[in-house]
Amino acid sequence: MKKHIRPSGVRQPSGERGRGEDSSPNPGSAEASRANVVWMEEVGMNDVASVGGKNASLGELLGSVGKKGVRVPSGFIVTAAAYEYILKKNNLNAFIKETLSGIQVRNIKELARRAKKIRDKIIASKLPPDLAGEIVKGYREMERQYGKNVDVAVRSSATAEDLPDASFAGQQETYLGIRGEAAVLKAVMWTIASLFNDRAIVYRAEKGYSHTHIALSVGVQKMVRAGEGSSGVMFTLDTESGFKDVVLITASLGLGELIVQGRVSPDEYIVFKPTLGKFPKPIISKAMGQKEGKMVYSKQNESVDISRVKEIKTSEKERSTFCLSDKDILTLAKWATMIEDHYTRRRGSWSPMDIEWAKDGDGKLYILQARPETVQVKRDVTVFREYLLRGKPRKLLAKGISVGHSIVSGRARVIHHPKEAEQFKKGEILITKMTDPDWGPIMKMATAIVTDSGGRTSHAAIVSRELGIPAIVGAHDATKKIRTGDIITIDVAGSEGRIYPGKVSFTMTEQNIKALPKTKTKLMLNLASPDMAFGYSHLPVQGVGLAREEFIIASYIGIHPSAVLNFKTLPPDIKKKVANRTRGWSDPRQFYIDKLAFGIAKIAAAFYPKQVIVRFSDFKSNEYAGLIGGDLYEPKEENPMIGWRGASRYYAPAFRKAFELEIKAFLKVRNDMGLKNVIPMVPFCRTIEEAKKVLALMAEDGLVPRSLAKKKSEGVETIMMCEIPSNVVLADEFLNYFDGFSIGSNDLTQLALGLDRDSGTIAKVGNENDPAIRKLISGAIDACKRRKKYSGICGQGPSDLPDFGDFLVRKGIGSMSLNPDTVVKTLVRIAKLEKKLKF
């Protein structure tokens, strides 16, 4: 079959693939390299040299996953051969070579002058009549299928684009919403000229690609009317940690340019791949973005204007509504994994993908592009680096989303426009509102980057990762709070990027995990922040021994559970605060359940299928009072540390319904998301009677403990915190109802020695190494070993007191749960001890 635009009257490949129809012949042909215009269905990844990475990938998608239900809008391609034809017919090759001869890309003024000279020359050139005729013929065929003046996207696709070692993302131009033959021809020439944008020239120079050995192909693709819907970007891994078991989806209203440019803070969704398609709803995170504006079609000069889009502000309702339904999220995630699977099979090794998608105004979803992810795929996860600030910084200047994992200090420079590039000095920290590809030359000189707007898939975030420099995006008013010349410290070692004044000292430790020995004693993590879980998933641990609900409730939710249960009767000021906090949810109760479930799920997903023990809420009354609406429901206690906390709350009439919200969150994680590795743990259970009451409530709400299940295999493993002397004294009786103990050495020490943990005055009286505490812990471990049940410790002791850890190993404890920064050194110590003891 000929690889060129077919004559009128011959049926063209469908512009909306994914309905099971047959595709064009096998993609990838030598004929494609000789043709000037081909259909997208007629090419594949073997044709990168003739149609560029982007167009080759579109053809590959249409010929593979397009047959399996993934919608990919079709179109035609003006090939690299056509590009060479245009240059030859207009005698441009020698001109381009001469103009770029000896160019110094760091000389920004000279770079801009020469680049513009080439672009102007190309735009002023003429399309050869025969080639123009083929392009018009292709557009007319699309009109026959979609209607007169069909709107198309005219996209660049360089022959060195979307390669595993360099993405070339955003270097050339894309023109959206183009209508009419004249506008298409014009857009093709403007797109070709964009191969010589300032940023594209710099990028090629930095990557070592010759300017004259790269050609440009142009894709003319059916436009998805996302201006009336939504659009975004998704990755088949976590973009910061490289964690491979998730699909990260960002979404905003309108056309996708604003997300890529970082001019809006998008919604963000995370889907867990291992249980996708096996359980009803493995969406493990949903976060609402600001979505400050959207790009839509402009109705002016529709027939000839090369750019028919404009930016408008979003309404309050639009900002307070998620762009995607759960069904949409799962569909996109399924498509993303299909695309990743295809490319992985094709390449013979794991191939995470960076994918652009759009939702038409009619509600249909489409895949617009797919390229290999080029940063995290090369990361060596066997090397673990830990950055820690020394001391406490004076104050916090601004915060946002972390990109990278490091801490740097330097001199700030606030830049508002890339034309101010000459002011920027190498090694400074760039502070700006947002970036786009024109900022490339400045970004390459920066030590770190901070932008007021943007999300994890914005231009600033993507380029920072590729350059290997830390960045904070979505920092809101950083450009107002930081002045040029200020010395600042950028901390992106955690999930939240923070900016501090001055130079703050820090430490960095590095450990090759592969070289670490194995231990018989299981090492697990104490983990509070779900946002840190993916980053810690590479640590040599056997799961999580303690995940605290309190952090999730305080950070993700921020509302007292009774306030969401009694929303309608709240005082107006509290009601307003709750409403603002629960934007995107029609029912505050469901917000509480979902957010708690998302926090638990991110931790569980990071270590799946390893055991993750999640403790039910253990706030004290004074801590609960600090949440929104908390003062309305909490008593004033003289000593909250030994007051209304843990198990005694759950069955109390004033808290019973609140505990039910926690159970529903657990059920959502286990049954809807499929994270069966989540194990509930009951804290501060004073008596056997309390144990019976709490377990009965769990069963009543559907989370049936093993001890109450008709068949043990049908019940949920349930652990109890062993942290009160009565738990040890009556260990065998408590173990009749629970599947093991997790020893809370902090509270056990407090209660056995009569210490107030909140009091610094008597803190030196004793710790876990006290003989009385060791005797209690020995009793708890012995009881678990005797009953063949789980024994672990999740208190601070093993992390802070190495010799206490040695004692636990000698006693034969099943597992030790440690703080992340102590895992490696504790593992090495335990391995030596076990070898000495001949374990």
Specify the residue for token string 């050495």: 745
Pair 63, 23: CB distance under 8 Å: yes
Instruction: Tell me the residue ranges of DSSP E strands in 91-161.
Output: 152-158
Q: Which DSSP symbol is given to 125?
A: S
Residues in the chain: 839
Cα(712)–Cα(454) distance, integer angstroms: 49
User: Rounded to an integer, what distance in angstroms lies between the CA atom of residue 737 and that of residue 696?
Assistant: 11
Q: Decide: helix, strand or coil at residue 10.
A: coil
Q: Is the dihedral of CA 4, 10, 15, 16 positive or negative?
A: negative
Show the tokens assigned to 508: 């960095």
Q: Is 830 left (phi over 0), alpha (psi -120 to 50) or beta?
A: alpha
Give burial (CB, 10 Å; 0-12/13-18/19+) of 578: buried
Catalytic residue among 459, 538, 560, 685: 459
For 183-307, where are the E strands, in sequence order? 216-222, 230-235, 246-253, 267-272, 283-287, 293-297
Residue pair 276/337 in contact by the 8 Å Cβ criterion: yes
DSSP character string of 713-775: GGSBP-EEEE-SHHHHHTHHHHHTTSSEEEE-HHHHHHHHHT--TT-STTGGG--TTSHHHHH
Residue 701, classed as helix, strand or coil, is coil
Cβ neighbors of 778 (< 8 A, separation 6 or more) are: 811
Whether the upstream peptide bond of residue 609 has omega within 30° of 0, thus cis, is yes
- Give how far Cα 664 sits from Cα of 670, 690, 698, Å: 10, 21, 10
Pick the catalytic residue: 685, 722, 784, 794? 794
Mind giving me the DSSP string for 298-312? --TTTTT-S--EEEE
Phi, psi of 411 (to 5 degrees): -90, 130
SS (H, E, C) 319-378: HCCCCCCHHHHHHHHHHHHHHHHHHHHHHCCCCCEEEEEEECCCCCEEEEEEEECCCHHH
- DSSP structure class, residue 47: G
Are β-strands 267-272 and 283-287 bridged in parallel, bridged antiparallel, or unpaired? antiparallel
DSSP helix/strand/coil, 782: helix
Other Cβ atoms closer than 10 A to 392: 8
Q: Which of 690, 790, 805 is nearest to 745 (CA)?
A: 805
Number of Cβ within 10 Å of residue 136's Cβ equals 16
| String of DSSP letters for 427-453 | TPEEEES---GGGHHHHTT-SEEEESS
538 is catalytic: no
DSSP annotation of 64: T
Q: Compute the distance between CA of residue 179 and CA of residue 184 in angstroms, rounded to an integer.
A: 7
Q: Quick one: which H or E segment has residue 208?
A: none
Q: Quote the CA–CA distance of 292 and 452 in Å, as a whole number.
A: 12
Q: Has 342 been annotated as catalytic? A: no
Tokens of 553: 């409730």
| Cβ–Cβ < 8 Å for 683, 724 | no
- The bridge status of strand 267-272 relative to strand 37-39 is unpaired
Kindly report the number of other CB atoms within 10 A of residue 639's CB atom: 10
Cite the active site residues: 459, 794
